[in-house]
Amino acid sequence: MKKVFLVLLVLSLVACGASSDDSELSETTSTTLTEVTTTNSTDSSDSTTTTQAVIAYKFDVEKMSPFTGKELPAETWLKRPRRVIAFKIDNNINARPQSGLQEADAVHEILVEGGMTRFLAFFLDNTSKYLGPIRSARPTDPTMVRPYGGTLVVSGATAGLIPSIRELGVPVLEEQSSPTMFRISSRNAPHNLYADTELVRQKIDDRGFYFLQPGPQPLYRFGLDQNNWSTGANKITVKYSEFTTVIWKLDNDKYSRFIIDSYSDNNEAVAHNYLTQEGNTDILQAETIVVLQGPLYKDPATTLPSVLTVGVGTAYVFNNGFYVEGTWRRGDISEPFVISDMNGIEIEVPPSSQWVHVLPNEGEVTINN
């Protein structure tokens, strides 16, 4: 007499209504161990075999976030199509704690002059009534905004930079042309420019700037396969320069952010807090940390330091104590990044909240357990 027990777990995040001509980036296939157990009841013994089942992940441009890779509630995606807006956010000591960063769909951190950094806070589905301080554009910014078909919102820029950004296909909204941005009296200029993201969105919509419809694809491949990832990434140190070092410490399933910079006492790491809408402070966190490392160069038009994000570079992806090191590549600023491990196999970034470091090759990444 034979009894057959079949245990099959299939997790499917299949997009409903996604078009068949979605880009290659929009669909990934992962595998995981799933037990298929056959038990033969005889007088001698029972036998067990285990096979591989397929977990399918497909990105749905209409119903999922290109920043987290997660499916959105219906009340969110029914508001689409919406444009991506990237706000340039200050990271000077006089700008901290910033407001609205934790409400962003994703944050990118980019080197500026003096060895310091500023942020691009991306908003598509999320909103913030009080975001800032907003600062001026830098040459690397359009290279990270362009793949999303987004609009860049800034206080201004060095002479000649705004036309250059627009020539790259990235619309720009400046303070002088947007009464929706406002300055607060409790902080000194230039660290006091803020905005309500939805009021800015209305202004941009009224001006009819170009944006991708039905929506943008992710910046890199999302998926569920973390096979062959290494363990021991409970503390990540990202050093931009002698003046700015970021430390991420794993706290449950999220990384909490600490910073050492030229303003730190005794060169000690301090918690990098954000300001809530209620006026309280809490530490910045992200589930996944992505590092894209590239050559540092001086922008020929402005002589400002910039990081090259086209070509090939080193990449790291960290999630919940696991990590993988490899390379990134792309041929144009309008394209997504292809991130591969050391064996040339494309990495699948877990769907999760993301913080992206755009790091010069002169920077350093240190991983500790």
**Cross-strand bridge partners of residue 267:** none
Q: Are strands 117-123 and 193-195 parallel, antiparallel or unpaired?
A: unpaired
Which residues contact residue 300 at a Cβ distance below 8 angstroms, ignoring those fewer than 6 apart? none
8 Å CB contact between 357 and 238: yes
8 Å CB contact between 182 and 195: yes
Q: Which amino acid is at 55?
A: I
Tokens matching residue 266: 């005794």
Question: For residue 13, which phi and psi values (nearest 5 degrees)?
Answer: -115, 70
8 Å CB contact between 171 and 152: yes
Look at the chain and count its residues.
Answer: 369
- The predicted pLDDT at position 314 comes to 98
8 Å CB contact between 195 and 181: yes
Which residues contact residue 207 at a Cβ distance below 8 angstroms, ignoring those fewer than 6 apart? 173
- The predicted pLDDT at position 278 comes to 85
Q: How far is CA 211 from CA 43, 84, 149, 171, 208, in A?
A: 69, 8, 5, 9, 9
Tell me which DSSP letter residue 281 carries.
Answer: E
Structural domains in the chain, sorted by start: 2-59 (no CATH), 75-207 (3.50.90.10), 230-368 (3.50.90.10)
Which residues contact residue 291 at a Cβ distance below 8 angstroms, ignoring those fewer than 6 apart? 238, 314, 315, 316, 317, 318, 356, 357, 359, 365
The pLDDT profile of the chain, 369 residues, written as one tens digit per residue, is: 433 333 333 333 333 333 334 444 444 444 443 333 333 433 434 433 333 444 789 999 999 999 999 999 999 999 999 999 999 999 999 999 999 999 999 999 999 999 999 999 999 999 999 999 999 999 999 999 999 999 999 999 998 999 999 999 999 999 988 889 999 999 999 999 999 999 999 999 999 998 998 899 999 999 999 988 999 999 999 999 999 999 999 999 999 999 998 777 777 899 999 998 888 999 999 999 999 999 999 998 899 999 999 999 999 999 999 999 999 999 999 999 999 999 999 999 999 999 999 999 999 999 999
Q: Identify the three-state secondary structure at position 130.
A: coil
Looking up tokens 């590549």 gives 329
CA distance 85 to 240: 25
- The predicted pLDDT at position 301 comes to 85
